[in-house]
Amino acid sequence: MAEIVTGEAVVLDLPYARFPTRMLAHLIDMFVQFAAMGVVGILALGGLATGALNGASLAAVLVTGFVAAIVGYPIACETLSRGRTPGKAALGLRVVAEDGGPVRFRQALVRALAGSVECWLMFGVPALVTAMISARGNRLGDIFAGTFVIRERAPRAASGPYPAGGYAGRAGGPSAMDPALSGWAATLDLSALPEPVATAAGSYLSRYWQLNPAARDQLGGQLAASVSAHVTPPPPPGLHPAAYLHAVLAEHGNRELARLQAGRGPAWQAGYGPACQAAVAQAPVTQPAPPPPSDDGGFAVPR
């Protein structure tokens, strides 16, 4: 796992790709590149045979085609698909920046230029040596560009009520919550909840299991305190911060959906409302082990 600090000072644990997996992905990409170079070569020789190209034109076409396949191919794929080439996509890999963000064109350009030397001209020897030394398995191109490769299909180390995508946002229909909190949630006054605070809380829940445990608990406590400053009544004693945020946002989303249904016709309600309610019924929510109740009430931040 690679520990990454995002631009919001949040620590993420991302599984970096091992060198054997990266090499297999590179071999898949090389097969595509060789196929592209073969097509260019056949077309160029056909043009030479028909007289459409002379010797100088043939050389220019071949050089341009080879450069496009070796350098242009990874640049285009990684820039347009946010860090994925066909080989990486096949094995569930992605190139990301040092802060965990998407790779940029400049970084893809540096990686491609360095790769043409270390992986093609020098047969991958420098890439192998640097990958064995680097803690993240980086090759020279990654070091120069400030990137590394992660595994998107890595098994999750933990599971629970707040996986990525577990919170259905306001536009996604109603959200399931712990039935024990439904009575309290129905009494909440959410009129003063600022949109940026709600958005930050929703983003936190969607990335709950990707966060470093220590940072996850600290950030959850801060967000719960920020939300509770604008929402009344206060949470039940000993409530986990993430459970509190989930209940508040779920109730907010359910109320907005109810308002939308009230303003639409019966046909819309019949086609959309029951489907959402069925989805909620099939998505039970379990709660983490409750922490000891706090002495002064409110949610308890894990320690």
111/14 same-domain check: yes
Residue 260 lies in a domain: yes
User: Does 268 score more than 70 pLDDT?
Assistant: no
Higher-scoring residue by pLDDT: 214, 63: 63
In the structure, how many helices (H) and strands (E) does the chain have?
A: 12, 4
Are 141 and 192 in a shared domain? Answer: no
Q: What confidence score (pLDDT) does residue 84 get?
A: 93
Q: Answer whether residue 291 shows pLDDT above 70.
A: no
What token pair was written down for 144? 């120069």
Residue 113 and residue 13 in one domain = yes
Q: Which of 63-77, 85-99, 231-245, 251-265 has the lowest mean pLDDT?
A: 251-265
* pLDDT of res. 166: 37
Clarify whether residues 210 and 136 are in a common domain: no
Segment 120-158, tens digit of pLDDT: 999 889 998 998 888 888 999 999 999 989 888 654 444
Q: Which of the listed residues 88, 123, 151 is the one where a domain comes to its end?
A: 151
Q: Give the count of domains, the chain.
A: 2
Domain boundary among 102, 122, 151: 151
Q: Which domain, by its residues, includes 230?
A: 170-281
Q: Which pLDDT value is given to residue 298?
A: 53
Question: For residue 158, is it within any domain?
Answer: no
Q: 128 and 235: one domain?
A: no
Asked if omega into 102 is within 30° of 0 (cis), the reply is: no
| Cβ contacts of 34 within 8 Å, gap of 6 or more | 69
In a domain, 199, yes or no: yes
Query: What are the distances in angstroms from CA 133 to CA 25, 130, 168?
Result: 20, 5, 42
Contact status, residue 162 vs residue 209, Cβ threshold 8 Å: yes
The mean-pLDDT minimum among 6-10, 69-73, 91-95, 232-236 falls in: 6-10
Does residue 262 carry a pLDDT above 80?
A: no
Which candidate, 154, 16, 155, 182, places its Cα nearest to that of 98?
16
Domain for residue 146, yes or no? yes
As a whole number of angstroms, the distance between CA 263 and CA 113 comes to 57
Residue 15 has pLDDT above 80, yes or no: no
Residues 13 and 98 in one domain: yes
Q: What is the pLDDT, as a whole number, of residue 265?
A: 52
Inside any domain, residue 88: yes
Residue 289 has pLDDT above 80, yes or no: no
Which of these three, 151, 182, 201, is where a domain ends? 151
Q: What is the CA radius of gyration of the chain?
A: 26
Residues 14 and 120 grouped into a single domain: yes
> 253 and 119, same structural domain?
no
Residue 93: its H or E element: strand 93-97
pLDDT of 161 strictly over 80? no
- Most confident option among 3-7, 66-70, 222-226: 66-70
- The predicted pLDDT at position 236 comes to 86
What pLDDT score was predicted for residue 144?
94
Q: What is the average pLDDT score of the chain?
A: 77
Instruction: Note whether 31 and 135 are same-domain residues.
Output: yes
pLDDT band for position 12 (50/70/90)? low
Q: Quick one: 262 and 215 in the same domain?
A: yes
In a domain, 160, yes or no: no
8 Cβ neighbours under 8 A, 6+ residues apart: none
Same domain, 64 and 138: yes
User: 216: buried, middle or exposed (CB in 10 Å: 19+, 13-18, 0-12)?
Assistant: buried
